Amino acid sequence: MTSLKDINPRVRTITVSSQSSLQILAEDIKRDIAKGAKKSFKDTIDVSSGDPHRTGIKPVTFIRQVLAICLYPQLLNEESLPLDVRLRAQRLLESCDGESVGSYTESSGLRHVRQRIAEFITRRDAGVPAYSKNIFISCGAQKAQMVIVKLLSRGEGHLQTGVLTPLPCPHTLPMLLEEAGVKAVSYLLEEERQWAVDLKELHRALSTSRGCCVPRAIYISNPGNPTGHVQDRKSIQEVIEFAAAEKLVLLVDEVYQDSVYAQNQEFVSYKKVLFEMDKVFRESVELISFHSLSCACVAECGLRAGYMEIINMDPEVMNFVDTMLCTDISTPVTGQLALDLMLHPPQPGDSSYDAHAQETWFLRATLFQNAERALKVLNDLPGVRCQPAMGGIYLYPCLHLPLEIREEAETTRLEADVWYCQKLLEEEGLIIGAGGTPGSHHLRLSVCVPPDTLEEVLSRLSSFHLRLINRKAQDRALVASNRRSCKTIRSEPLMI
């Protein structure tokens, strides 16, 4: 199996992404509006990334109540708060040094929370055991991914570490790999099969990478970000067998595991499938799975906490992981405690159970209904085709833009979808992510927003899209008319 012991971190120059450019432009527009500039919109709406609270999704009450007590323990005596909230807060405070969230924790996280994460994983995977010593808490899933990728990173040129990465992929992943000094080896997801992972494509990508880098890992997003696909057991098993045969580490991003909403679909973890396979696989395949507070239903992005579970890793490498996490001293304690609350919600009979169940049901129902609504509107637009999502928080429509639009984008040295998103922001105040898939043009649209916000988003997007398409059609008709006029003039005899 691939050794991860050789560490060679690098510093790379990171290019500004299209997402960053849109955010900069949005800030300029906000300043102009504040200064009195006249726009057709009163404010900007950002649905380009997974930050539901920014768009108006309300936080889960149970989590905020418990954290409020942890931050201000005098509230333990506040009888207006539910009893189970106060009891949970008391238990979490007892797990902190000095019974205070102001204390440092071990670099890998509070022992109590790590044990609770292990208990959640064991329950989720129907009894497949998880152990706290294999759990590492970090400042979000991305931080954990960066730690692992830096451990993988070594060599330059044809000896540079490579990681197989899907296209499309999370929009932050290419920059993360670049910063770590790792080469992205792209494998294409099959759009016409609802973004399925294709085994032949994995082999093709691996074969073409030989000689230009040394592939050492494969990155998987399940449920897919931004595609919304969900892998079944057969697909997961094929990927595990592929990783085992090619001696690749499996890096599995499972942060949207609680947001699978398509009929007849369920989330199955890579670890569960691995432990259902033969002993030769479950004892040798190196698997690292990631989860985060930024998931769809909790969406506590600002608390900055996530975790990774590491399976079948060399103990010496595990020590390196812990050492590298020390560079952040410790993940914010409030975020660590929120992980416990996310993974262990109130149970039947608890004071907060009914209210919590209703809130989380409403969030999941909103996500499902929004995905259905947005899918219909998008597919009704000329030149737009969108695959239905099975889970996650994004839709990923494909744009088939007229030649005139693509040529205009080329004059600005922008990809057509990036140009489209910039124009959309300038004319409608709407921030939607550009796809980032070579050879095609896509948009990235979060549907984890309040329903009325989604309607405003779809209205602005539809208005812009139809106006753009009609304007180009009119320009084309005008050019054709002028050409016909010129031919008529040339054909008429000269009168003296």
Instruction: Tell me the per-residue pLDDT of 67-83, one tens digit each, with 9 for 90 and over.
Output: 999 999 999 999 999 99
pLDDT of residue 447: 97
Give the least confident one: 64-78, 174-188, 215-229, 326-340.
326-340
Phi and psi at residue 64, to the nearest 5°: -65, -35
pLDDT of residue 315: 86
Per-residue pLDDT band for 494 (boundaries 50, 70, 90) equals very low
What is the pLDDT averaged over residues 410-434? 94
Query: In the 8-state DSSP scheme, what is residue 299?
Result: -
Residue 427: CB partners within 8 Å, gap ≥ 6?
40, 464, 467
What is the pLDDT averaged over residues 150-161? 92
Q: Is the pLDDT of residue 496 over 50?
A: no
In degrees, rounded to 5, the angle at the alpha carbon of residue 241 between the alpha carbons of residues 239 and 245 is 115
pLDDT of residue 486: 54
pLDDT of residue 18: 78
Q: Is the pLDDT of residue 9 over 60?
A: no
What is the pLDDT averaged over residues 367-373? 97
Residue 214 pairs with which residues in a beta bridge? Answer: 161
Burial of 373 (0-12, 13-18, 19+ CB in 10 A): middle
pLDDT of residue 15: 41
CATH class assigned to 18-57+356-482: alpha beta
Q: What is the CATH number of domain 61-343?
A: 3.40.640.10
Dihedral class, residue 439 (left if φ above 0, else alpha if ψ from -120 to 50, else beta)? left
Instruction: Return the domain boundaries, the chain.
Output: 18-57+356-482, 61-343
What is the pLDDT averaged over residues 30-34? 90
Q: Is the pLDDT of residue 419 over 80?
A: yes
Instruction: Report the percentage of the chain scoring pLDDT > 70.
Output: 91
For residues 60 and 40, which has the higher predicted lDDT (pLDDT)? 60
Average pLDDT, the chain: 90
Give the least confident one: 11-20, 35-44, 85-94, 133-142.
11-20
What is the pLDDT averaged over residues 100-104? 96
Q: Is the pLDDT of residue 210 over 80?
A: yes
pLDDT of residue 472: 66
**Cis peptide upstream of residue 226 (ω within 30 degrees of 0):** yes
Alpha-helical (H) ranges within 197-232 are 199-209
Q: Is the pLDDT of residue 471 over 90?
A: no
pLDDT of residue 323: 80
Residue 398: CB partners within 8 Å, gap ≥ 6?
191, 384, 385, 386, 435, 440, 441, 442
What is the pLDDT averaged over residues 334-342? 97
pLDDT of residue 328: 65
Give pLDDT tens digits for 377-395. 999 999 999 999 999 999 9
Q: How far apart are CA 288 and CA 148, in angstroms?
A: 9
Give pLDDT tens digits for 223-270. 999 999 999 999 999 999 999 999 999 999 999 999 999 988 999 999
Which residue in this structure is represented by tokens 């808490």?
137
Q: Is the pLDDT of residue 36 over 50?
A: yes
Burial of 485 (0-12, 13-18, 19+ CB in 10 A): exposed
Residue 159: CB partners within 8 Å, gap ≥ 6?
213, 214
Q: How far apart are CA 169 and CA 173, in angstroms?
A: 7
Nearest Cα to Cα of residue 106 among 78, 77, 138: 138
